[in-house]
A and B are shown apart, each in its own frame.
Chain A
Amino acid sequence: MKLTINQSSDFTENEIIINCACMNPRLQKLIDYIRQFSFTLEGELDNRLFQIPVEQIIYAESVEGKTFLYDTDHAYFCRRTLASLEEDLGAAPFVRISKNCMINISYLQSVAPYFNHRMKAQLKTGEELIISRNYIDTLKNKLKNQEGIL
């Protein structure tokens, strides 16, 4: 695949143009991945609303019925449920790892066996999350689908 980057102060907006003879699944995955960069999620912090770029969200967690979005520095309250986020972020590199947590696999560094048939996820930020036994296959499939893109 030929990659051309034109950098100039004349451009007022970042733009990606894909020229192709025909669409294939691999290209479609790449397009889905790029599209997440124009997608934001609304989060609240200190009574202020923020539009958080999806690629900056490390993980989303539901705590006592409330959903929170975490980036490197903040935890934003989100009015949506994890299930609705999961639907919208299907094409993005997000995957459910437990009943109350979904992570951005771009931030996933490694996993290790953990007791009770679970796994421990080590994130690039140094945080650790638990992957439930029911979601290990989901993670494996997501990584398989994202292969070559991440």
Chain B
Amino acid sequence: MKRLLNTYLPSLAITFTATAAAICIVNLTQGFSSVSCTLLLEILGFILLTEAADFLLGKIPFPNCAVYILCEFVVFYGLFLVFGFFPGGWFGAGLSALLQSTVIFIILFGLLQLYFYHTARENARKINSRLK
């Protein structure tokens, strides 16, 4: 419960708000003045499922970092494809849309890994400085 309140709920709120804001900005720049309620709920569903996947992956004793990252990538990318390309998905059909969204996904996934690595390194530095 503590983890749900301290980690998952704040990250859900932040991610959902940031994504909704980004969609609004993109839509406004392209001349659309409204955002679909269905789209917002789909995004909420996607974030909820990725958090659930993250929680479940945390329970698995992976042998090393590479296997963990690979597994996380496969699960998240699978969810991304389901939401992005199933009928009524976020992206248009075709190989070009698939390639473009995959590249964006890889960049975002890489940036997230870097962010978490730097946060962890900073945490470790603070703890080690207290241990000295």
Write the residues of chain A forming the contact surface with B, with a CB cutoff of 8 angstroms.
105, 108-117, 119, 133-134, 136, 139-140, 143-144, 147, 150
Contact yes or no, A113 B127, CB < 8 A:
no
User: Contacts A134-B3, A140-B126 hold; do A109 and B131 have CB atoms under 8 A apart?
Assistant: yes
Secondary structure class of chain B's binding surface, majority of residues: helix
A111 near B124: Cβ-Cβ < 8 Å: yes
A101 to chain B, nearest CB (A): 14
Task: Give the dominant DSSP class at A's interface.
Answer: mixed
Instruction: Say whether B127 contacts A111, CB under 8 Å.
Output: yes
- Please count the residue pairs between chain A and chain B whose beta carbons lie under 8 angstroms apart in the complex: 51
Contact B62 A116 (CB under 8 A): yes
Are A140 and B131 closer than 8 Å at their CB atoms? no
In the complex, are the beta carbons of B64 and A139 less than 8 A apart? no
Binding site for A on B (CB under 8 A): 2-3, 7, 57-58, 62, 64-65, 68-69, 116-117, 120-121, 123-124, 126-128, 130-131
Q: Which residues of A contact B68 (CB under 8 A)?
A: 115-116
Distance between Cα atoms of A143 and B126 in the complex (Å): 10
